[in-house]
Amino acid sequence: MSKIIIIGAGGVGSVVAHKCAQLSSVFTEIVLASRTLAKCDAIAASVKERTGVIIKTAQIDADLVPMTVALLKEENPSLLINVALPYQDLALMDACLETGVHYLDTANYEPPEEAKFEYHWQWAYQDKFEKAGLKALLGSGFDPGVTNVFTAWALKHHFDTIEYLDIIDVNGGDHGQAFATNFNPEINIREVTARCRHWEDGAFQETPALSTSATFTCPEGLGEFSIYRMYHEEMESLTKHIPTIKRAQFWMSFSDAYIKHLEVLQNVGMTRIDEVEYHGQKIIPLQFLKAVLPDPGDLGKSTTGKTCIGCIIRGIKDGEEKAVYVYNICDHEQCFEEVGSQGVSYTTGVPAMIGAKLLLEGTWATQAGVWNMEQNDPDPFMADLEAHGLPWTCIELSPEQARTFSVAEA
Ligand code: NDP
């Protein structure tokens, strides 16, 4: 049906390539382009071995709009899936506009010099995409992505109004390393060390990074985890599109070892994103740190355990207070067996493939313009999650359980 181009041959790009290749009735031709051609070729070889599908590869610097434009003109795809880094979002959107290609990503734009990831830069493209008759689907990963869809689905089927939203991202996996990040270390550490913002009383409230924590007991016997409140971009679009939300918070689990290492790295200045002079050369400490940390794309073979990501949603139905918890549990080892990647890359790559599928089929993003996930009908996406490797569960909680994050064991 459609030719696509995937930009970014990292952990997530590999999963997107494998999952799209599994669905060759929709994705009839696949091109994978990234900064390092050898990484594209290694993924292409794995895709061929696992699915028999041959994908084309190309080298590209996605920061350079003319270079992307030239590649898009040569390949003429219907859709560009951006799973490079958030820094490339605007350059890739510009290239899509110039060549008439639809656009999809999994993380919102962030300027390299400031760890401030916000939608306003990409929302500003609304008119341009509308005028060009093109569609852009933003944040089609797990969080953002599936968490937006879980919230929209809960509103459609369980609530008249949603008032409280807690998004809880637990990685109960063990990669066997003293310190490693689940996805790109530079982006991950910028996100985790940024000042926390959560939505309350009609505005984002700021608190120091990782200064608020709680304990969360995962369902299905996964155990108890320390979770830390932090800023995450889906709160910005969800509170805009579901204005009845009084409070939205995002929580992520971190092990004591992760927190200990992060504290030391911060204290010694290794997480700085400004330039420092070293032996006559300018380096950014966080980028140097990324170079010595394990590559998240290589963690799959050693990672065991499961992820558990979901939304605790409290609101009103028929005049009564009501609460639900919608979640997915994903097994790292099963992901590795299927596509050769760990669960965090898998839980991001599968929703990117589903968003692309629904956009190309015309089910989602039904008109030209820039779309967030929750602006679309959640039902087909929820059905595709079930069909393509990320089954989900919805359980009803008492309002008290929702307030205290206690999920009763089945
Ligand atoms: P990786 O670092 O593993 O992969 C990024 C890839 O992009 C690398 O192959 C890198 O090339 C390539 N790249 C970087 N800069 C450029 C450039 N200028 N031109 C071309 N290619 C470039 O990251 P992940 O796969 O872990 O993450 C990918 C994206 O997914 C990120 O934006 C991340 O924020 C997002 N994400 C979203 C999640 C969600 O749930 N919504 C969760 C996890 C991640 P090279 O190999 O040469 O460095």
Last residue of a domain, one of 77, 106, 138: 138
**pTM of the shown model:** 0.96
Q: How much distance in Å is there from the Cα of 106 to the middle of ligand 1?
A: 10
> Is residue 333 pLDDT above 90, yes or no?
yes
Last residue of a domain, one of 138, 167, 191: 138
278 and 130 inside one domain: no
Greater confidence, 186 or 368? 368
Q: Is 14 in the pocket of ligand 1 (CB under 6 A)?
A: no
Counting ligand 1 atoms within 8 A of each CB, the residue from 5, 6, 19, 35 with the most, and so the one to mutate, is: 35
Atom 39, ligand 1: residue with shortest CA distance? 141
Phi, psi of 319 (to 5 degrees): 80, -5
Greater confidence, 235 or 295? 235
Q: How much distance in Å is there from the Cα of 96 to the middle of ligand 1?
A: 18
Last residue of a domain, one of 138, 157, 178: 138
- Give the pLDDT score at 85: 94
Q: Is 144 in the pocket of ligand 1 (CB under 6 A)?
A: yes
Q: Which two tokens stand for residue 47?
A: 């895709």
- Give the pLDDT score at 408: 58
Query: What CATH number is given to the structural domain containing 395?
Result: 3.30.360.10
> Is residue 410 pLDDT above 50, yes or no?
no
Q: How much distance in Å is there from the Cα of 80 to the middle of ligand 1?
A: 14
Domain contains 355: no
Residue 69 exposure: Cα atoms within 13 Å on the Cβ side: 9
Q: Would you say 60 and 31 are in contact if contact means Cβ atoms under 8 Å apart?
A: no
Domain contains 316: yes
Average pLDDT of the residues of the chain: 95
Q: Is 390 in the pocket of ligand 1 (CB under 6 A)?
A: no
Specify the number of domains making up the chain.
2
Angle at 366 between CA 362 and CA 370, to 5 degrees: 120
For 209-218, the CB contacts below 8 A with 24+ separation are 210/254, 210/259, 214/251, 214/405, 215/405, 216/168, 216/170, 216/251, 216/253, 216/405, 216/407, 217/405, 217/406, 217/407, 218/170, 218/172, 218/308, 218/329, 218/407
150 and 290 inside one domain: yes
- Give the pLDDT score at 406: 77
Q: How much distance in Å is there from the Cα of 10 to the middle of ligand 1?
A: 5
Domain contains 375: no
CB atoms near residue 185 (< 10 Å): 21
Counting ligand 1 atoms within 8 A of each CB, the residue from 15, 32, 34 with the most, and so the one to mutate, is: 34
Domain contains 112: yes
Tell which residue, 92, 91, 72, has the closest CA to residue 82.
92
131 and 150 inside one domain: no
The pLDDT tens digits for 262-272 are: 999 999 999 99
Q: Is 13 in the pocket of ligand 1 (CB under 6 A)?
A: yes
187 and 333 inside one domain: yes
Domain contains 304: yes
For residue 114, count CB atoms less than 10 angstroms from its CB and return exposed for 0-12, middle for 13-18, buried for 19 or more: exposed
Kindly report which listed range (18-32, 46-60, 85-99, 292-306) carries the lowest average pLDDT score: 292-306
Q: Would you say 171 and 254 are in contact if contact means Cβ atoms under 8 Å apart?
A: no
Phi, psi of 273 (to 5 degrees): -115, 10
Q: How much distance in Å is there from the Cα of 322 to the middle of ligand 1?
A: 39
242 and 165 inside one domain: yes
Share of residues in the chain with pLDDT > 70 (%): 99
162 and 69 inside one domain: no
Ligand 1 atom index nearest CA of 144: 41
Query: What CATH number is given to the structural domain containing 99?
Result: 3.40.50.720
134 and 155 inside one domain: no
> Is residue 298 pLDDT above 90, yes or no?
no
- Give the pLDDT score at 120: 95
Q: Is 312 in the pocket of ligand 1 (CB under 6 A)?
A: no
Phi, psi of 76 (to 5 degrees): 55, 55
Q: Is 9 in the pocket of ligand 1 (CB under 6 A)?
A: yes
CB atoms near residue 271 (< 10 Å): 18
Mean pLDDT calculated for residue range 362-389: 98
Q: Is 351 in the pocket of ligand 1 (CB under 6 A)?
A: no
Tell which residue, 191, 141, 116, 105, has the closest CA to residue 307.
141
Domain of 280 in residue numbering reads as 146-339+389-404
Tell which residue, 69, 104, 102, has the closest CA to residue 84.
104
245 and 393 inside one domain: yes
- Give the pLDDT score at 116: 81
Tell which residue, 364, 381, 339, 365, has the closest CA to residue 12.
339
Q: Would you say 395 and 219 are in contact if contact means Cβ atoms under 8 Å apart?
A: yes
- Give the pLDDT score at 183: 85
Q: Which two tokens stand for residue 233?
A: 């971009």
Mean pLDDT calculated for residue range 340-356: 96
Q: Which amino acid is at 299?
A: L
The pLDDT tens digits for 211-255 are: 999 999 999 999 999 999 999 999 999 999 999 999 999 999 999
Greater confidence, 114 or 20? 20
- Give the pLDDT score at 409: 52
Mean pLDDT calculated for residue range 141-154: 98
Instruction: Could you list the beta-strand ranges (E) of 68-160.
Output: 79-82, 102-105, 135-138
Q: Is 373 in the pocket of ligand 1 (CB under 6 A)?
A: no
Mean pLDDT calculated for residue range 398-402: 91
